[in-house]
Amino acid sequence: MALIVYGGSVSPFVRKVRVVLVEKKAAYTLENVNPFTPPPEFVAISPLKRIPVLRDTDLPEPNTLADSSIICDYLEHKFPEPAVYPRDPFQRAQALWFEEYADSAVAQAFGAGLFFPRIVRRMLRQEPDEGTCRTTMSEKVPPLCDYLEKEIGDREFLVGEAFSIADITVGSMFVNFRHAGETVDAARWPRLARYVSRIHSRPSFATLIAEEDPFIARFRAA
């Protein structure tokens, strides 16, 4: 069996897939792909030119899947235990909602609003755009954190009693929030701050964060 993940380790969508693989103790290799200058062979398997893409070499070609949500759903069926999607139909739907919320609204704010203008621009040898970051932190981040603070409440996980794709996706977005030099204001959002810390302390997250930190450190402000 050989699973290959194509993408960059600091992408929240690639990290999402990698956390699922680690949780399921599924062996894989990561092949770096720069989404800004993808090679032609990658474009052929990723019509939207986005990372990640998964290749399952156990299968005859074509054996690739694009989009993190599609990939995670496939991995859940290929490796059913431990489950990262709730078995209960309603809770599964709730988890899918948080996955969508994180992949859309949170990703847009933390990615286009913070990580790209502060970190990716440095990777591209451009000046960071702190104006965009300030607007994001003052206008876009508070409603997102207000909502997640309310939703997590006093529970350990976002849905039900178990770690799920909801926690994986939301947690992955907050890694990029952290990489951009931001932390959840524990005075304003105490439950969310504890939740993020708890999720990031989980071995599947902690290992990947430790792997990414030295790379990101090269692009943080002095």
What is the set of domains in the chain, with CATH numbers?
3-78 (3.40.30.10), 89-217 (1.20.1050.10)
DSSP 8-state symbol, 104: I
Q: Residue 36's pLDDT band (boundaries 50, 70, 90)? A: confident
What SS3 class is residue 204?
Answer: helix
Q: How confident is the model at residue 220 (pLDDT cuts 50, 70, 90)?
A: confident
Return the number of other C-beta atoms located less than 10 Å from residue 157's C-beta.
17
CA dist list (Å): 38 to 9, 21, 34, 132:
15, 24, 5, 27
CA distance linking residue 105 with residue 177, whole number of Å: 13
CB atoms within 10 A of CB 197: 13
Band the pLDDT of 1: cuts 50, 70, 90: low
pLDDT in tens, 100-149: 999 999 999 999 999 999 999 999 999 999 999 999 999 999 999 999 99
pLDDT in tens, 63-98: 999 999 999 999 999 999 999 999 999 999 999 999
pLDDT digits (tens, 9 = 90+) for 142-172: 999 999 999 999 999 999 999 999 999 999 9
Continuous H helices in 37-189: 40-43, 68-78, 89-101, 107, 121-123, 130-135, 141-152, 165-179
Please say whether the beta carbons of 164 and 142 come within 8 A. no
Give residue-wise pLDDT tens across range 46-61. Answer: 999 999 999 999 999 9
Query: CA of 219: how far to CAs of 15, 84, 177, 181, 214, in Å?
Result: 19, 33, 14, 11, 10
Confidence label for 176 from pLDDT (cuts 50, 70 and 90): very high
